[in-house]
Amino acid sequence: MKDLKGIYTALLTPFDRNGKINEEALKQLVKHNLNLGADGFYVCGSTGEALMLNVEERKQIMKIVKENAESANLIAHIGSISERDAHALAAYAKELDYDLISSVAPFYYKFSFPEIRDYYIRLAEKSDMKMLVYHIPVFSGVGMGFDELSSFLEDDRFAGIKFTSNDFFTMERCKNRFPDKLLLSGYDEMILSGLAMGADGGIGSTYNFMADKFVLIRKLFLEGKTEEARKVQNEANRIISVLIKIGVMQAEKEIMNQLGFDFGHCLPPFKKVTAEGKKLLKEEVLPYIRKADV
Ligand code: MN9
SS3 label, residue 16: coil
Instruction: Calculate mean pLDDT across residues 266-283.
Output: 97
pLDDT of residue 127: 98
Dihedral angle sign, alpha carbons of residues 96, 50, 217, 224: negative
Q: Kindly report, residue by residue over 207-222, the tens digit of the pLDDT.
A: 999 999 999 999 999 9
Catalytic pick among 42, 92, 120, 134: 134
The reply to whether 219 belongs to the active site is no
Asked if residue 280 lies in contact with residue 242, where contact means CB atoms within 8 angstroms, the answer is: yes
196 lines ligand 1 (CB under 6 A): no
Number of H helices, E strands in the chain: 12, 8
Nearest to 43 by CA among 104, 101, 124: 101
Average pLDDT, the chain: 97
pLDDT of residue 1: 72
Q: Calculate how far, in angstroms, residue 186's C-alpha sits from the geometric centre of ligand 1.
A: 6
Dmax (CA) of the chain: 50
Asked if residue 161 lies in contact with residue 104, where contact means CB atoms within 8 angstroms, the answer is: no
Q: Calculate how far, in angstroms, residue 100's C-alpha sits from the geometric centre of ligand 1.
A: 20
pLDDT of residue 153: 98
d(CA 129, CA 111): 23
Instruction: Calculate mean pLDDT across residues 128-151.
Output: 97
Q: 59 pLDDT band (50/70/90 cuts)? A: very high
The reply to whether 162 belongs to the active site is yes
Percent of the chain with pLDDT over 70: 100
Is pLDDT above 80 for 46?
yes
pLDDT of residue 174: 98
Asked if residue 40 lies in contact with residue 94, where contact means CB atoms within 8 angstroms, the answer is: no
Asked if residue 263 lies in contact with residue 22, where contact means CB atoms within 8 angstroms, the answer is: yes
d(CA 42, CA 241): 23
Nearest to 261 by CA among 214, 224, 288, 293: 293
Instruction: Calculate mean pLDDT across residues 232-246.
Output: 98
HSE-CB of 143 using CA atoms within 13 angstroms = 4
d(CA 155, CA 58): 28
186 lines ligand 1 (CB under 6 A): yes
Is pLDDT above 90 for 294?
no
Q: Is 264 left (phi over 0), alpha (psi -120 to 50) or beta?
A: left
Other Cβ atoms less than 10 A from the Cβ of 5: the count is: 17
Q: Kindly report, residue by residue over 165-203, the tens digit of the pLDDT.
A: 999 999 999 999 999 999 999 999 999 999 999 999 999
- Whether omega for the bond prior to residue 269 falls within 30 degrees of 0, making it cis, is yes
pLDDT of residue 240: 98
Other Cβ atoms less than 10 A from the Cβ of 109: the count is: 8
Q: Kindly report, residue by residue over 69-112, the tens digit of the pLDDT.
A: 989 999 999 999 999 999 999 999 999 999 999 999 999 999 99
The number of residues making up the chain comes to 294
9 lines ligand 1 (CB under 6 A): no
40 lines ligand 1 (CB under 6 A): no
